[in-house]
Structure 1
Amino acid sequence: MAHSAVPSTGASAVTPISLSALAPWALFVGVLMLVLLYLVGAEQGATAIFQGDGIHEWMHDGRHLLGFPCH
């Protein structure tokens, strides 16, 4: 008779995550995604925050990969 190496925990051991515990992480991920979307899609345009072409050159391939026009 083979025994499982992982102990059985039963269905009652699983507890749901409350929305109050999940909300800060969801907000953090949402803000991070908006910042990344801005950097890849809009930086070095009319709303440039950083001067020069540094961000544009770093994000250039990402723009092409995601379908953002940059030329």
Structure 2
Amino acid sequence: MNPATPAIPALPTPRVDARGIAAAVATPAWLAAVTLLALTAYYFLGFDQGAVSVFGSDTHVHEFVHDARHLLGFPCH
């Protein structure tokens, strides 16, 4: 055996594409977060009739989205 060559041949090290794995994990998380945010916005815009008011007759959320409700065809009166 030649002293310049190693006794155990060097095997190629398998490489893992960490970006692909991170993207595969991040995509469902982003999808869930965006879906939750969209459903929350839809609730406030479409179905809230002052139900989220915690200070008595304070209807700031309802008044803030009032015109958008009419624009999208939601009745609110």
Tell me which interval the TM-score lies in, with the shorter structure as reference length: 0.5 to 0.7
Structure 1: unaligned runs, 5 residues or longer: 1-14
**Pairwise CA RMSD:** 2.0
TM-score normalized by the length of structure 1: 0.63
Q: Which residue of structure 2 lines up, in the alignment, with residue 8 of structure 1?
A: none
Q: Which residue of structure 2 lines up, in the alignment, with residue 65 of structure 1?
A: 71
Question: Matched residue of 1:28: which SS?
Answer: helix
Query: Which structure: larger Rg?
Result: 2
Q: Which residue of structure 1 lines up, in the alignment, with residue 33 of structure 2?
A: 28
TM-score normalized by the length of structure 2: 0.59
Number of positions where the alignment pairs a residue of Structure 1 with one of Structure 2: 54
| Alignment pair present for 1:55 and 2:61 | yes
Query: Percent identical across equivalent pairs?
Result: 43
Structure 2: unaligned runs, 5 residues or longer: 1-19
The 4+ residue runs of structure 1 with deviation greater than 4 A are none
Aligned partners of 1:60 and 1:23: how far apart in 2? 33
Instruction: Give the CA deviation at 1:44.
Output: 2.1
Aligned partners of 2:26 and 2:37: how far apart in 1? 18
Aligned partners of 1:54 and 1:21: how far apart in 2? 35
Aligned partners of 2:76 and 2:24: how far apart in 1? 39
